[in-house]
Amino acid sequence: MSSKRKASNSKKKSSKRRVPPTPLRADSNAVRILDAVKRIPRGRVSTYGSVAELAGLPRRARLVGTVLRQTPSSRELPWYRVINASGRISFPVGSDAYSRQRRKLEAEGVVFSGGRVDLTRYGWPSSVASLDEYLWSPD
């Protein structure tokens, strides 16, 4: 076998094929998370941990962040209503993503004070009511 042929064969072996993303199954954790995010009312925010709980995945806040990061922007998803547990936007202050998220929240009437959102006022679901009330209430 010639050296040219070996070189071309080795290139074929080392080339990486791009694998398309796996479609979301109706029972997958990602679908449950996206459904929970869609339920956040306009003018309210939810933490990554609260979204995980609403999705039936307690203590999986990082998974919520991963799913939101990997979700195509073409979906009609109110991703910007999800913030961290301290009431802050998780993107670096001054970044385009931070500005975009803050603008969207402020357009819905969410007020920032010192870079934070008051979770007792704007947080959803309210920590006063039980999670079951929000999941099973008729409204």
Q: Which domains does the chain have, with CATH numbers?
A: 27-136 (1.10.10.10)
Q: What is the pLDDT of residue 55?
A: 97
Q: What is the pLDDT of residue 74?
A: 76
The SS3 assignment for 98 reads helix
Q: What is the pLDDT of residue 126?
A: 82
Tokens standing for 58?
A: 């307690």
Distance CA 20, CA 22 (A): 6
Q: What is the pLDDT of residue 52?
A: 97
Of the CA atoms within 13 Å of residue 62, those in its CB half-sphere come to: 0
Q: What is the pLDDT of residue 27?
A: 58
Spell out the per-residue pLDDT of the chain, length 139, in tens.
Answer: 555 555 545 455 555 666 555 556 655 999 999 999 999 999 999 999 999 999 999 999 999 999 999 999 877 899 999 999 999 999 999 999 999 999 999 999 999 999 999 999 999 998 645 566 666 666 5
CB atoms within 10 A of CB 107: 11
Of the CA atoms within 13 Å of residue 64, those in its CB half-sphere come to: 29
Tokens standing for 99?
A: 């500005």
Residue ranges in the chain assigned as alpha helix (H) = 3-14, 29-38, 48-54, 61-70, 96-107, 119-122, 131-136
Taking the mean position of all CA atoms in its chain, how far away is CA 92? Answer: 16
Q: What is the pLDDT of residue 17?
A: 65
**Cβ-proximal residues to 125 (8 Å cutoff; 6+ apart), any chain:** 46, 50, 54, 131, 133, 134
